[in-house]
Structure 1
Amino acid sequence: MPSVLNARRVAASTLALGAVGALSGCGVLTGLLGGNVLSVEVGDCFVVSDMEQSLSEGAVTDVPLVDCDEPHDGEFFYAEDLPDGDFPGEAAVDEQAMELCEGQAFTDFVGTDYMTSEIWASYLVPTEESWDRADDREILCYLETMETVTGSQEGAGI
């Protein structure tokens, strides 16, 4: 069983690191181009493949949101601001995001431990550029379900 758990963590970490790299400068671009990435909130839902398409096109300015009553497979479930000060570095931000999004916040929201859940977690994080220019300090955690769902996954217990 440990190899399955390790594979899950590696896959989730790789997904998150890809998102972090692709979001480089997103806060700055949002301010210049008018996207919504800095105004996404806990409770917002989206279709993961639509967000992946945005990621593949370079720096993200928009997260293509959908009403949670419509079919979707992604949901923002937790947000936390990092303390003011100098940018702590990508590795430190990523480590804190992983701990937050796969930890107690996930358990509290979904109703089961991350490592035993059928739901995946990932996150959007500030970059050094968005930290400095847009005062972006927010780690924003999101869920990814394996199948399309309607409604929130809060308390899903799976």
Structure 2
Amino acid sequence: MPAYQPWAQGYHPHNHPAPVNGLAIASLVLGVLCCLPGVGLVLGLAGLRQIRRRGERGTGLAVGGAALSGTGLVLWAVLIATGGASALWHGFEDGARGGRTLALTEGECFDTPGGALSGDTYDVHRVSCAGAHDGEVFATVTLPGGSYPGDDAVGDTADERCWSLQDGYAMDGWAVPRDVDVYYLTPTEDGWAAGDREITCVFGNTAEGEDLTGSLRNDETVLDPDQVAYLKAAHVLNAALDTAPDAEYVEDDLPGHRAWAGRVSAALGEQARMLRAHDWPARARGPVAALAADLDKARAQWAKAARAGDADAFYEHYDTGFDLIDPSLGVPARRALGLATTVPADDDGSDASVQV
């Protein structure tokens, strides 16, 4: 008599129970996961027919899967009808982006957990710009695709782009309080892997935890055409002044300072041309004409500095030309145009050396 390997639970080796229906199993799995409720319902019903016809096991599985899938199908229909499916998807999408649920746009104001704009920020709460808030978005920058460039590279790009874009949102720098600084929110490496390529440029208070109140926006959407024309002309000079060489002393880089003086001279000429080309209201014509005349005098001095043969000659014309772009010279024109008239101060308390 042949020997048999013992079976667990005392089954006879020739006892073959009926198989479990595969469609019933699949229906239950889909019903529990609720990912394809329509498919789960169809598989459950089909499984029941096969079980009756083939004598297979799994009736409970098929019934349970069909019931769960039917319930899931109803829930999905309700979500789609009410827009909840879109919100649910965005929730999953935000989670895939490393928890960064920002998606802020230009002009929006927000609060952060703890009120800080430093360190990791995973969530924000949109609030009205009219009241107190932690930050105000003034620009967004989309980075190119490819592999993650690294935290330092992303930070350097954010620093450069955000500083260059702030004037487009807050055109009148004189109207921006001294306690406001530029911050930015950047994608993490995990967020980058999930498709996040956006830098969010933000105005915030220089003192951590302190609020801003009221919107800082002053651009074409807020200002009138005369104000915009004046500020665009002023920005030409500001851009040139910002290209000063790294060397602080002329003696250390005379060629670099002469090239810079040439750029400033050209900008002064362009600024004066733009001011004269605009049709100003009667109240602003005299002050703007006087400013343009001062700019002409300044341009001549900066042009001589650009041709200086040595550091002493450079300083001579530079000092005179610098005095002729003193910000206070623009106050009468600004007052006539309804722009801010308080000259902003540098960190050392002196008047800022820009016309904006």
TM-score of the aligned structures, taking structure 1 as reference length: 0.63
Going from structure 1 to structure 2, the CA distance change for 1:88 and 1:36 (only over 3 Å counts) comes to: closer
**What pairs up with 1:106-121 in 2 under 5 angstroms?**
106-112=166-172, 118=178, 119-121=180-182
Going from structure 1 to structure 2, the CA distance change for 1:112 and 1:69 (only over 3 Å counts) comes to: closer
Q: Does 1:43 align with 2:107?
A: yes
Going from structure 1 to structure 2, the CA distance change for 1:48 and 1:81 (only over 3 Å counts) comes to: same
**What pairs up with 1:5-154 in 2 under 5 angstroms?**
30-31=94-95, 37-47=101-111, 50-52=114-116, 60-103=121-164, 105-112=165-172, 118=178, 119-132=180-193, 134-145=194-205, 148-150=212-214, 152-154=215-217
Structure 1 position 141, deviation (Å): 0.4
- Checking the alignment, whether the CA contact within 8 Å between 1:125 and 1:140 is kept in structure 2 is yes
CA distance in 1, matches of 2:103, 2:212: 24
Structure 1 position 51, deviation (Å): 3.8
Letter in 1 for 2:200: L
Aligned to 2:116, the other structure's residue is in SS state helix
Going from structure 1 to structure 2, the CA distance change for 1:49 and 1:43 (only over 3 Å counts) comes to: same
Structure 1 position 129, deviation (Å): 1.1
1:5-44 deviation digits (Å, cap 9, x = unpaired):
xxxxxxxxxxxxxxxxxxxxxxx99416996724222222
1:99-120 deviation digits (Å, cap 9, x = unpaired):
01111x111111256xx97220
1:47-86 deviation digits (Å, cap 9, x = unpaired):
4674429x77xx5331122112222242011001100111
- Checking the alignment, whether the CA contact within 8 Å between 2:112 and 2:125 is kept in structure 1 is no
- Checking the alignment, whether the CA contact within 8 Å between 1:77 and 1:142 is kept in structure 2 is yes
CA distance in 2, matches of 1:81, 1:71: 28
Going from structure 1 to structure 2, the CA distance change for 1:35 and 1:66 (only over 3 Å counts) comes to: farther
Structure 1 gaps of 5+ residues are 1-27
- Checking the alignment, whether the CA contact within 8 Å between 1:29 and 1:61 is kept in structure 2 is no
Structure 2 gaps of 5+ residues are 1-91, 220-339, 345-356
Going from structure 1 to structure 2, the CA distance change for 1:36 and 1:93 (only over 3 Å counts) comes to: closer
Letter in 2 for 1:61: Y
Aligned to 2:166, the other structure's residue is in SS state helix
Going from structure 1 to structure 2, the CA distance change for 1:64 and 1:36 (only over 3 Å counts) comes to: farther
CA distance in 2, matches of 1:102, 1:34: 26
CA distance in 2, matches of 1:43, 1:35: 23
TM-score of the aligned structures, taking structure 2 as reference length: 0.30
Larger displacement relative to structure 2 (66-75 or 84-93): 66-75
CA distance in 2, matches of 1:96, 1:33: 20
The aligned counterpart of 2:218 is 155
CA distance in 1, matches of 2:116, 2:205: 14
Letter in 1 for 2:204: E
Give the structure with the higher percent helix: 2
Residues matched between the structures, number: 124
Q: Considering only aligned residues, what root-mean-square deviation do their CA atoms show, in Å?
A: 3.5
Give the structure with the higher percent strand: 1
